[in-house]
Structure formats: structure tokens, C-alpha cells
Structure 1
Amino acid sequence: MDQLFAGGTVNAAQFGDGPPLFLFHSLLSDRASFHAIVPRLAQSFRVCVPELPGFGQSRAVPGDFADVADRMAGFVKDAAGGKQAIVLGNGYGGFVALQMAIRHPDIATKLILADCGAAFSEPGREAFRNMAAASKAKGLAAITDVAMRRLFSPEFQAQHPDLMRDRREAFLKTDPEVFRAACDALAGLDLRPELAQVKAPVLVLVGEYDEATPPPMSHELAAGLPNARLLVIPGCAHVPQLQSPEVFLDAIGDFLPASYAPT
């Protein structure tokens, strides 16, 4: 059942019992992208899956990307009830988690950053500017094909028509203004100078075929963090937890506390 946290600003669902584990979704998807892995994780953790600010029933943040990170820090503190937490972010959610960890060093005991980075290349920045401009001029429907290609390979899309129909519908529910603000934030973001401030252990994951945040971004991210290791997930693109949930769970298994017992 959904609950409101952080002064009623963040809507989240919770599953299971145990140490708190937070899952932050990507920009081109929603929290349903974690549905395939939640049941396994909920056997060992209290899994909390929020809608990021401006998505679903969570209130938008009237500020910049740092304000988004601050809002989510307040949410994590509230939902964890003072307990230590692990935070896993995918794509945009990974950038939010990273910025949050920089600004709030004690917020997480461990971070799992899947398919994100610390900064985009100039072509990557231009892609966000183009998506923002096209969505403003023609609406989200005009960039849905581009968005899906950034999430999944054409082969995967062809093999999973029902899933792709669901993902397209989820994307079209995104608030256009929130989407454009996130695109603008990512186009200008550069967290590389601040990576040394993240002292918590970090597992950096990336899909082998990720076009949205290509593997070199994850290599750069892992190299810039004081305590990080990198894993490339074979055969996957930008949302490996949805594309290959068993492979994804295996990839994070050794990084999670010993109490995690996958079955």
C-alpha cells in the first residue's frame, strides 16, 4: 500500500521487512520497472519504492536538481525511521541517488548506481536538449520511440510487445514539465568534481548495450569514486532489472549484506 513521506511530498510503496532498501526509478520509466525484482528483495529487506518528485503522486520540486536530491534525502530519512539504508538508483534515479549521497554523506551505507554516471558527453547532453525541445513542441508522444530505444534494444522490443506497450503507456503519463526540467538538469549536470565526497561503498552497474548512459560513463564514474567497483551486465540495455531480473539480482547479490539470501 502506498504511503506519503517527507511531509506528505513523496509517495512510496513498501514491501517486506528488514533493513531498509530504496529503489529510485529512471526518467524514461516509472517505479514499475522494479516490479520483477521486488519480491526477491522483500524476502530480506523492507523495500521502499518511491515515485520521484513530479512523478505519479509525488509532488514536483520547485527548484533545481540539488533540490530534488534534498527532497529524496528527507524521504529516505523519514521512511528509514533513523535506520541505516541502502539506496539503488537506475538511470535518472541513479543520478538523484548520487547527488543525494554527495550532499548528505550519511544518508546511505551502500549505493548501487545502475546505468548512470557523473556527467554526460556533449552528444549525450545534446540528446537531452533535443528531447526536451521536441516534447515541448510536439508532446511526449513525438519522442516515445526515441525514449523506448534509449531503454531497450530493437530486438528486445520486438520480442516483448506486451511489455513495450506497458512501458510506452507509462512514459506517456509523465508530467511534460517535470520531464523537460529533468532533461535540462541532466544536460547541465557534472558531478565529477564532487565524487570524492562519497565515502560509502558503491556498486556501479551498466548494461552492455546501454545507449542512454553508455558504459564509458559508468567506467568514469567508478574510477572517480573512492570506494567503488564496476560490473557490466551482458546483453542488457538501460533497465537491466526489467530486461533480465535474475541476472540483475545475481549482479547485486554479493554487494548486499550477508543477511540477503536469494532463493
Structure 2
Amino acid sequence: MLNGQARTAVAELAAAVLSLRPMIDRLDAPVRVAVPGGARGAVRGLQTIVDRVCGRLGAPALELVRSPESDLDPFGAAAGRRLGLADSGAALAVLSSDDLPDVDRVVDEAVSADFDSFCEQRTVRGPDGVGVRAYAAGDPDAPAVVIASACGMPARLAEVWIRRLARDHRVLTWESRGLFCGCEDFAGATGVPAQADDLIAVMDAFELDQAHVMGLCGGAVIAITAAAAHPDRISSLSLWHGDFELGDQARKTEHQRNLQALMTMATRAKVSAAGVHAVLCRSIAASTPPELAHLVLYPYASPDLLFRYCLLNGAIMETDVRPELSAVVQPTLVVTSEDDTTAHPDGSRYVAAALPDARLHVVPHGDHISLFQGPPDLIDTASRFMAEKSDVNPSHR
């Protein structure tokens, strides 16, 4: 029987592999990951346990290699950091074949506690027939909130928010069209109106007439577009570190300008996407906290995926939201920080001032990457704002 330390190590390894699935499912197997320095003498034992866990989960193979992390691509480096073998390797490497049935049981327990088990999942089709993968959690009779997350990111990037809000809310979200389910032959629309239609289609699929909508980063543009087009369906909004195009009315960060230029270049042709692929991968990996890199890197996992991502996110970044702001009459919370170097706070300040019924909340530090780590004070801010609005309660069909 596994001792407490080994059981914890196996559970953490299984949780790590589950969280890697969106990215590693898109990479060529086996995915090469570096062996931590302190574990180099136990590679064979570690590989046996990693193989067992991946096999039990039906995950692509992970190959432990002695190469330094700097010799690996950003995906293998991110996967290696997420596995955390530097801390757990010693406890795993000494397990024997007799321990493998216990390993399987711990892996099964990890599956039952994982994000994918926590959420109900459905494939939802928008008005144009394109399918998106939607997620729901929480009591169906509780007040409803729909999370329009950052474009192209796996739903589990917002896991902290979803799990916390689901204690008191019915929480819905979805993954961007053309990048997840059925994306290989995707030929659907990529503009912001189509992405906003997906939000409404997800509400329809889960029989919600009204909900609060949280727009995170580029999802704030989708939230604004949906709120302007469907004022009867969206009762209130919160816009978090929004990436807004506002012409000459607000400054942009260097990150915003560079990313928009690269996406424009990548969408000229797939050959261009292939050309900027390596540059973007290393740039994004270097600027993303290690605990989130394996999720943020998802849309960069291949040139084809990157091409579709640039079409979708490029449309968000170039859509001027100014014409729609006066039509967004719902109570709105706009959140930014003083030092956001990803999406310039000037954009949020302008949007808050232009909306008919908005409240601006500025914190000292943060950006849309730290936002996804679920700071308790921001989750509490969201919960308080939603609780203030008596019309947040959903009307179920």
C-alpha cells in the first residue's frame, strides 16, 4: 500500500497530467520533458510511473529526457515544470510493480476530483452550425453567471473562478470556436458577432433566459457585443482587464501593439503563421507564470491552430467597441489595475466612463494573467457586485 507521501505524489502527478491534456493532445507524442537534476539517477523508475499514469488516463506519452530544459521546446519545458518531478520524483521513483494497482486507484480518484468531472460538458451549436464545447457547474437553480474567457484558452484556465463561483451560482463557460472540438476542418465565421452568438447559444443550451456575464481580457469585447445585441438576456456585466480597441481614445501597451501586429502577419497566409509560430511560442512562454504556461500555450501548439487563433483573437483585438458602448445599458463593473502592462488600463477607464451605468474598480497591481490565478479579493469583488443586482437571478425556461 502506498504511504502518505507516495499517495500525494501520485495524486499530484495525475492532476498535472490531466491539466496538461489540452496542450499535449495537440502535440506529437511522445512529448519530451526534462528530468529534474535531483532525479536523474532514477529516470527508469520515474518513467515507469509516468507511463502508468498516462496510460491509465489515456493521455499521450511523456518521455523523460536528460536534456536540460533549455534544449526543449516551450511545450516540453512547460509540461516538465507542471509535472513537478523535482519535488515528487524521489517518492515516485522507488515505487515497485506491486504498487501499480494502488497507483491506478489514486489516479482514478484524481479523475473524479478533476475539473472535467466537476463540470457538465456539452457540445453546443451556434446559429451557423459551428460547435463549441460548453461547461456548466453549480446548482441549476442558483443565480447564473456566464464567463466569456480569454480567446483560445482551455476552459480550465478559469478553473479557480468556476469552482469558487459555483458554490453560490450556476456557472457557464465555453471554449472558442474552431480551436477545440471539431476544429480540424473548421471553416466557420471568426468575427466577434459569431463569437458573441456562441455565448447566447450556450445560455440557450442550458435553458437560461438571463445571466450576469463576466468578460475576461478579450472576452470583455465578446461580452460587450452580446450585451448590446441582447439586452434582455444579459442582466449585468463585469469586464476584467479588457483588451479594447478604442482608436486614439486610449493608449495601448507594447504587448498589445506587438501581439496585434504579429496576429495580422500570421493571418495573411498559413505560411506566415508558421513563420511567426516559433517567435510567438517562446515570447508567450517567457512572459507567462510557470503554473499557467501549459494552458496559455494551448493555441500555439501547432501552426494550424495558431492560424485559427489569430483569426479569432485578431478579430477581437481590431474590433472598435466604441459604437456599442452606448447600447450597453446593463449595470457594469469594469476592473483593471494601475500597472497592467498587458492590456493598458486606459482602455478600461475609457469604457467605464462611456458606459451608461458603470462602476470602475482599479486595484494597485495585476493583469489578465494574474487574474486567472483567482485572487480572493477579486473573486469577492465579483460576488459582491453580482449580489447587489436583484435581476441577476436566472429565468429558466
1:90 is aligned, of 193, 198, 216, to 216
- How far 1:73 moved relative to its partner? 2.0
Amino acid at match of 1:93: G
Aligned residue number for residue 172 of structure 1: 300
Question: Is 1:209 equivalent to 2:331 in the alignment?
Answer: no
2:232 counterpart (82, 106, 110): 106
Distance 2:313 2:233 in 1: 25
Question: Superposition RMSD on alpha carbons, in Å?
Answer: 2.8
Q: Give aligned pairs, total.
A: 250
1:115-134 equivalence runs, <5 A: 115-120=241-246, 124=256, 127-133=259-265
Per the alignment, residue 75 of structure 1 pairs with: 202
The answer to whether the aligner puts 1:15 opposite 2:137 as a matched pair is yes
Aligned equivalents of 1:165, 1:206: Cα separation in 2? 22
2:281 is matched with which residue? 144
Alpha-carbon distance, 1:91 to partner:
1.1
- For 1:166, give the aligned amino acid: H
Amino acid at match of 1:110: S
- CA separation of 1:118 and 1:132: change in aligned 2, threshold 3 A: closer
> 1:11, CA displacement in angstroms?
1.1
Deviations 1:64-116 (A, max 9, x none): 2222222322222332x143211111111111111111122222101111111
Whether the 8 Å CA contact 1:37–1:245 is kept in 2: the answer is: no
- Secondary structure at 1:35 match in 2: helix
Report whether the alignment pairs 1:252 with 2:252. no
Deviation at 1:169, TM superposition (A): 4.0
% identity of equivalent residues: 25
Determine which structure has the larger helix proportion and give its number: 2
Q: How many Å separate the matches in 2 of 1:25 and 1:215?
A: 18
- Equivalent position amino acid for 2:171 in 1: V
- 1:74–1:221: structure 2 CA closer, same or farther, 3 Å change rule? same
Q: Which has the higher contact order (CA 8 A, sep 6+)?
A: 1
* Residues 222 and 229, structure 1, Cα contact 8 Å, conserved in 2: yes
State how far apart, in whole Å, the 2-side matches of 1:233 and 1:29 are: 24
Identify the residue that residue 235 of structure 1 maps to in structure 2: 365
CA contact (8 A) 1:209 1:238 kept: no
Equivalent residues of 2:157, 2:292 under 8 A apart = no
**Given the superposition, is the C-alpha separation of residues 172 and 223 from structure 1 closer, same or farther in structure 2, using an over 3 Å criterion?**
same
In the TM superposition, residue 120 of structure 1 has moved relative to its aligned partner by 4.6
Q: After TM superposition, give the deviation of residue 171 of structure 1 in Å.
A: 4.0
Structure 2: distance between partners of 1:218 and 1:2: 32
- If you compute each CA radius of gyration, which structure gives the higher value, 1 or 2? 2
AA aligned opposite 2:122: Q
Deviations 1:2-25 (A, max 9, x none): 112246722112111112211121
Q: Following the alignment from structure 2 to structure 1, what is the Cα–Cα distance between the partners of residues 297 and 245?
A: 29
Distance (Å, rounded) in 1 between the aligned partners of 2:263 and 2:220: 20
Distance 1:20 1:58 in 2: 28
Check whether the contact 1:117–1:221 (CA below 8 A) recurs between aligned residues.
no
Residue of structure 2 in register with 1:38 after alignment: 162
Match for 2:273: what amino acid?
K
Which consecutive unaligned segments of at least 5 residues does structure 1 have?
Answer: none
Return closer, same or farther for 1:106/1:140 CA change in 2, 3 Å cut-off: farther
Corresponding position of 1:2: 121
Is the 2:153–2:299 Cα contact (8 Å) retained in structure 1?
A: yes
Partners of 2:182 and 2:387 lie apart in 1 by: 30
CA distance in 1, matches of 2:208, 2:153: 29
Which digits, 9 at most, give the CA deviation of each residue in 1:195-228, with x for residues without a partner? 1101111111124332231100000010110001
Cα distance in structure 2, aligned partners of 1:212 and 1:169: 16
The residue aligned with 1:64 is 191
Give the CA deviation at 1:232: 1.7
Normalised to the residue count of structure 1, the TM-score between the two structures is: 0.82
